């Protein structure tokens, strides 16, 4: 047990967040998403609940009986215990009323625990409080990683790299997507991942987000794509590979060549001060050359960190395509697959650290 990151680093993150809240006249923020809770406390903990005042010490709300274990893993000293969800909401709301907070931030994010039901409950219990979105503040902080985060991501990348060949060797006609996923999870857990993620798409029907189906069976002359999210100290590295069952020719061969050229082009163009949209436009020229532009998903990359897919996410959030690439961003690409009916999807994805000198550090070799 114990802290996985220095207290000084965790405190600095919280102080920076508080400074931004003061600038925007936000009295406090209620952190309910797991990744941001981990970012500030230093530990993942279900269900996450951290009240961050703009000018005071944070308060963590944990289930009764968990407080001793939680305190061993975090620097947070103020603890309030609760017995169930209703008690949690009552104690959070009671604290807000007692402190007299009028403007409180929540994360309007795309993540587990950012449930609309909590938002509605919070508004109902705090009718005199103005609720504002603090996710832009938090994600602006999280987009650029510090050295401790980068080291965790490197170790996650090592896990993914060790796992991928073992997993790809399991692919043969007759096995199911869940067969492949089950072995992949076993391998990733054995290598040290605590919350690994595995997606499998066996053709002929392509799916962008391929949570495995038990009745999807690997067939000859189709693609199989495996996507891994390996984590270390709660930080992820993302990796994907596609294999073709048989000798690739015709459209299958063309799609593989196209994806490799798109990948190499992105490697060349992804550098500090370049905007994602400019890279996307150049990649579209490659897709057009192979006659596959209509089969590609728009966008090519996303950030990786405490979530396997976090902003900027150029495939989901169009506004993120206009963000300028910065040093110490961690990016995964090519995230967007080529979708081919009758064959499946084609994808080649690795995780990279953007260095200050303009080069990319390949995390998942």
First to last CA, the chain: 30
Residues 6+ away with beta carbon under 8 Å from 88? 47, 49, 61, 82
Burial (CB count within 10 angstroms: exposed 0-12, middle 13-18, buried 19+), residue 169: exposed
Could you give the C-alpha distances from 19 to 13, 56, 129, 138, in angstroms and in order? 10, 11, 21, 12
Element (H, E) at 153: helix 147-168
Strand order in the sheet with 330-333: 310-313, 302-303, 330-333, 350-354, 360-362
Instruction: Indicate the fold that domain 144-362 takes in CATH.
Output: Creatine Amidinohydrolase (3.90.230)
**Tens digits of pLDDT across the chain (365 residues):** 578 999 999 999 999 999 999 999 999 999 999 999 999 999 999 889 999 999 999 999 999 999 999 999 999 999 999 999 889 999 999 999 999 999 999 998 777 666 777 788 888 888 999 999 999 999 999 999 999 999 999 999 999 999 999 999 999 999 999 999 999 999 999 999 999 999 999 999 999 888 999 999 999 999 999 999 999 999 999 999 999 999 999 999 999 999 999 999 999 999 999 999 999 999 999 999 999 999 999 999 999 999 999 999 999 989 999 999 999 999 999 999 999 999 999 999 999 999 999 899 999 98
Could you tell me the pTM of the whole model? 0.93
Q: What does the domain layout of the chain look like in residue ranges?
A: 7-142, 144-362
175 dihedral zone (left: phi>0; alpha: psi -120 to 50; beta): beta
What's the CATH architecture for 7-142?
Answer: 3-Layer(aba) Sandwich (3.40)
For residue 254, give both structure tokens: 């063309």
């Amino acid at each position: 047990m114990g802290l996985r990151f220095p207290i000084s680093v965790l405190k600095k993150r919280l102080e920076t967040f508080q400074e931004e809240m003061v600038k925007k006249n936000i009295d406090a923020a209620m952190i309910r998403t797991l990744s941001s809770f981990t970012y500030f406390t230093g530990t993942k903990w279900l269900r996450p609940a951290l009240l961050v005042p703009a000018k005071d010490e944070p308060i963590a709300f944990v289930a009764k009986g968990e407080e001793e274990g939680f305190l061993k893993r975090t620097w947070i000293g103020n603890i309030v215990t609760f017995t169930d969800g209703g008690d949690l909401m009552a104690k959070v709301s009671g604290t807000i009323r007692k402190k007299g907070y009028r403007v409180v931030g929540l994360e309007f994010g795309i993540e587990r625990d950012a449930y609309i039901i909590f938002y509605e409950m919070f508004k109902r219990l705090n009718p005199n409080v103005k609720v504002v979105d603090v996710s832009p503040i938090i994600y602006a902080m999280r987009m650029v990683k510090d050295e401790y985060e980068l080291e965790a991501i490197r170790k996650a990348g090592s896990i993914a790299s060790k796992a991928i060949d073992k997993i790809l060797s399991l692919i043969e006609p007759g096995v199911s997507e869940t067969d492949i996923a089950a072995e992949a999870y076993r391998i990733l857990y054995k290598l040290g991942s605590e919350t690994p993620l595995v997606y499998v798409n066996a053709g002929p029907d392509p799916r962008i987000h391929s949570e495995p189906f038990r009745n999807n069976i690997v067939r000859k002359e189709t693609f199989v794509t495996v996507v891994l999210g390996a984590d270390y100290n709660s930080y992820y590295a993302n990796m994907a590979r596609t294999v073709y069952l048989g000798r690739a020719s015709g459209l299958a061969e063309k799609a593989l060549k196209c994806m490799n050229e798109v990948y190499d082009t992105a490697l060349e163009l992804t550098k500090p001060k370049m905007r994602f949209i400019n890279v996307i436009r150049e990649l579209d020229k490659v897709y057009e050359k192979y006659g596959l532009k209509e089969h590609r998903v728009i966008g090519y990359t996303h950030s990786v960190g405490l979530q396997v897919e976090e902003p900027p996410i150029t495939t989901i959030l169009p506004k993120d395509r206009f963000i300028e690439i910065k040093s110490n961003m961690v990016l995964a690409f090519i995230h967007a697959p080529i979708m081919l009916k009758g064959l499946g999807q084609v994808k080649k994805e690795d995780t990279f650290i953007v260095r200050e000198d303009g080069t990319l550090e390949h995390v998942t070799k």
